[in-house]
Every structure is written in structure tokens, then in C-alpha cells.
Amino acid sequence: MKHLPLKEALFLGFCAALLIITKAAFRWHLGISGHAMFFTAFFLLLARGCVTFRAAASFTGLLAGIAAALLGMGKGGPLVIEKFLLPALAVDLGALLLPWLFGSMLLCALVGAAAGATKFFGTIAIDLLVGMEPAIAWRHSLIEAFAALAFGAVGALGIPPVLRRLRAYGVLLPETRKEPL
Amino acid sequence: MFSTSLRVTQKKRQGTKGRALISAELALLLCFVLSLAAIVERSPTSLAWLTLANVLLLLIHRLDRQVLKRGIRLCLWQGGVVTGLYLLRYGPDAGLMPGLRVSWQLLLVFLPGLILFSGGSASRLAQALSKILPARSAFVLAASLKFLPLLVTEIAAIHEAQRLRGARIRPRDLLWPGNWGDLLHCLVAPVVVRVLEIADNIACAARCREFGRFPGRTCWPGDQENTP
């Protein structure tokens, strides 16, 4: 965190705030499971794509999780933090393992899907904590994770065009010359 | 000169001008509890009690009328959309009441945050957040949430300008996935540029005030009335 310039930290903070308001605005209880992962994957990948800091997505996820917990979003209380932190860790890991991630729509979709799939762990933890039958909890978590995986992949597809446009504007440096903003 | 006037330690607030009736920590706790209750509670009676609690918090926290108007307009618009979607999906008989209830809940989820983040000063919010976060992260989170209304206004202005240029980014245009490219190129990319610009301005202002010189939380002398 000490190595992260204030401007970049504030940018990540804004990404977290935008993630929270889009999630809150699309909280419609329409029975479409996992649709919130669309925005989560998008903003986490955007944060990691614009900032060279290795834990940028995790920092964004942590801030978003704390803000969501304070605003009372989600029924898990403080457990809502993991809903943002686990996908964020998946994004950071993906960016670490795949250096060409932000230039390829396929890789972005893959990492977005991986971020969505982390919903499985959060869902099963909460289901088991509230005393749900393990067999039902597994099935429920798998369904939730599959839906989140699909939405995460679709949300991540929007990242490469945006980053390409930002590089064309000169806002971000080309991938070959990665330095802080 | 700056360093001598810089307040490193938190001191008792002096005077009553601009003094809030509840502490930042209590406001944060109330915000958490009221928003959580609005999500968990479903019965109209509970929601009515929560509405009353929100009105009381509103009176105590002295929210700016313009911010309140903007927030309520946003919630009414969203309530209309949500109720409309429920009506479309479940029909008028089964969809109206659940749609109105969810809209009411959404208003009650938003309202405490709106009161807290728009009613109090950013330094009070940062002070409350610094109890649970490192000082730098608390400042980042507080500043991001404080400047969020500005960001939303900027997004609305960019959206309007791009629509005037002919970008297909109206809600009904976005029902067709072929127009999503316009959304990314005409709205998302300029918004990211604007966000970076705002972040740069805030960072520059903070650096001018010697932000980060000390490891703990520091505040400018003008904000001393906001520290307990």
C-alpha cells in the first residue's frame, strides 16, 4: 500500500465506489442469479488494468467490501467483504499469471469467469453457516457459481476495448512500457 | 510554517458552530444497522418503523436539501423501473405490491448512506473510518465516497453530451447488445479519463496539505472542530 501513489489509490477507491453503487442500483430481486458479478468482474479488471500495482484489484475489492458492509448490503453483514475480496484475488492472480491478460478478450473472459466462480466458496460458507443441508448447499452453490461465472465472463469482455481506447488517448502507457500513472 | 500548523494529534472539538449532534462513529454504526435492517426486514410494519428512523436521522444530520432532492429523484426513478419490471414479469396482480415493497426497501437501503456521506464532512467520515482502517486507506475510502455525487454528476453530463453526438447509449438502445460497444467507447472510456483526472486533483490537493508526511491520521487546522 505504501508503494501505491495516492492518485492511483484514489482511482481504485472510485472503482470500488462505482462498483458499490452499480451493485446497489441493480439489486432488483428478479431471480436472475449472479448478475451482480457482471459489474464486479468489470470494475475489478478495470482497476487492475489501469493500475500497475500488483494487488490493485484486491485493494479495490477490500474497499468495496468494507463500504458494502458499512452500507449493510448483503445479508451476511461483515461476511459481505468476501463477496468482493475473493473475485478480486482471482483477478490479481490472473493478472500475475497471464501478463497478456488485458490485450485479449478471451483471457479477460477466462479471468472474469474465474472471478465469478469464486462465488461458490462464499455461497457455500453462508449456506452451511445458516444450517442448510450440505447436499442442498452444494447444489445451490454450484448453481449460483455457474450463473456468476457466466456473468463474470460477459462483464470482463468489456475491458480490452476500454483499455485499448485509454491507451490510444495516452491516458495509460502501452503494455510494453508499464510504469505508474 | 505548514508543519507547525499541521495537526498531528486529534483534539477536542471547540465551539458549537457546525457541530453535528451525533458522533461520526455513531452515524457510521446507525448507517450500517439501518441499511442492513432495510434489506433483512420485509414486513410493511418494520419498513414503516425504519422509514421513521431514517426521517429522525435526516433531521438530526441536517442533510442539504438539494442532495436530498437528487437522492429521492434517483430512488423514485429506480422505483419506477423496478416496479415496472415486476409488473412485466409477474403481472399487475402479483407484481405490484412486491415491486413497490422492493422499491421502498431500496430507498431505505440508500437513504442512510446518502445522509451519512452527504450530510457530514469528509474529515468526519475519514475520522470514523480510521478506527477500522489504516489512515491512508480510510482517507481513500472517505474521499471516494464523498466525491461520488460529483462523479455521478460528471457521468450524467458525459452521457448527455454523447447522446447529443448521436451515441446509442439510451437505456432502450442498450437492450440490443450491438450497441454495447457505443457504451464502452462513448461513456465508459471518457468516464475513466474523468475519474483519473478527479483522482489526480484530489491527490494534488492532499499533497499540498502535506498528506502522508506522518504515518498516522492528520487533519488540517480548519477541520479541528470536526475532531472529537
Q: Do B85 and A28 touch (CB under 8 A)?
A: yes
Q: Tens digit of pLDDT for each residue in B127-179?
A: 777 777 888 888 888 888 888 888 888 999 999 999 999 888 888 888 888 88
Please state, in angstroms and rounded to a whole number, the distance separating the CA atoms of residues A64 and A36: 13
Q: Do B196 and A16 touch (CB under 8 A)?
A: no
Amino acid letter for position A142: L
Note the pLDDT of residue B192. 92
Name the residue facing B203 among A10, A15, A18 (closest C-beta). A10
Name the residue facing B189 among A10, A166, A181 (closest C-beta). A166
Q: Using an 8 Å Cβ cutoff, are A169 and B193 in contact?
A: yes
Q: Tens digit of pLDDT for each residue in B92-117?
A: 887 788 878 877 877 787 777 777 66
Q: Do A13 and B144 touch (CB under 8 A)?
A: yes
Closest CA to B212 of B139, B146, B147, B142: B139
Closest CA to B54 of B112, B110, B116, B109: B112
pLDDT beyond 70 at B220: no
The count of CB pairs under 8 A between chains A and B is 130
Residues of chain A with pLDDT under 70: 1-2, 27-33, 72-79, 126-127, 129-132, 173-181
Mean pLDDT rounded to a whole number for chain B: 76
Q: Do A74 and B148 touch (CB under 8 A)?
A: no
Cell matching residue A52: 500497475
- Chain B closest CA to A81's CA: distance in Å? 14
Q: Do A66 and B198 touch (CB under 8 A)?
A: no
Please state, in angstroms and rounded to a whole number, the distance separating the CA atoms of residues B54 and B46: 12
Q: Using an 8 Å Cβ cutoff, are A37 and A151 in contact?
A: yes
Q: Using an 8 Å Cβ cutoff, are A144 and A86 in contact?
A: no
ipTM: 0.85
Q: Tens digit of pLDDT for each residue in B166-211?
A: 888 888 888 888 888 888 889 999 999 999 999 999 999 988 887 7
Q: Do A77 and B212 touch (CB under 8 A)?
A: no
Our CA dihedral for B45, A26, A90, B192, rounded to 10 degrees, sits at -130
Tell me, letter by letter, the H, E, C secondary structure of A133-181: CHHHHHHHHHHHHHHHHHHHHHHHCCHHHHHHHHHHHCCCCCHHHCCCC
Residue A162 with chain B: CB contacts under 8 Å: 184, 188-189, 192
Instruction: Inform me whether the C-beta atom of residue A162 falls under 8 Å from chain B C-beta atoms.
Output: yes
Strand partners, B219: B7
CA angle A45, A46, A49 (to 5 degrees): 80
Note the pLDDT of residue A10. 93
Closest CA to B100 of B118, B115, B81: B81
Name the residue facing B113 among A8, A63, A71 (closest C-beta). A71
pLDDT beyond 50 at B10: no
Q: For chain A, which domains are there? A: 6-176 (1.10.1760)
Tell me the percentage of chain B whose pLDDT exceeds 90. 12
Note the pLDDT of residue A28. 56
Closest CA to A51 of A166, A154, A131: A166
The pTM for the full model equals: 0.74
Q: Do A14 and B145 touch (CB under 8 A)?
A: no
Q: Using an 8 Å Cβ cutoff, are A84 and A61 in contact?
A: yes
Q: Using an 8 Å Cβ cutoff, are B103 and B78 in contact?
A: yes
Residue A17 with chain B: CB contacts under 8 Å: 144-145, 148, 151
Q: Is the dihedral of CA A114, B148, A14, B33 positive or negative?
A: negative
A155 CB-contact burial (10 Å; exposed 0-12 / middle 13-18 / buried 19+): buried
Element at B201 (helix H, strand E): helix B189-208
pLDDT beyond 60 at B87: yes
Distances (CA, A) of B165 to B151, B187, B190, B195: 21, 12, 14, 21
Please state, in angstroms and rounded to a whole number, the distance separating the CA atoms of residues A82 and A65: 7
pLDDT beyond 70 at B43: yes
Note the pLDDT of residue A30. 54
Q: Do A162 and B145 touch (CB under 8 A)?
A: no
Helix axes A56-70, B24-40, angle to 10 degrees: 80
Instruction: Inform me whether the C-beta atom of residue A97 falls under 8 Å from chain B C-beta atoms.
Output: no
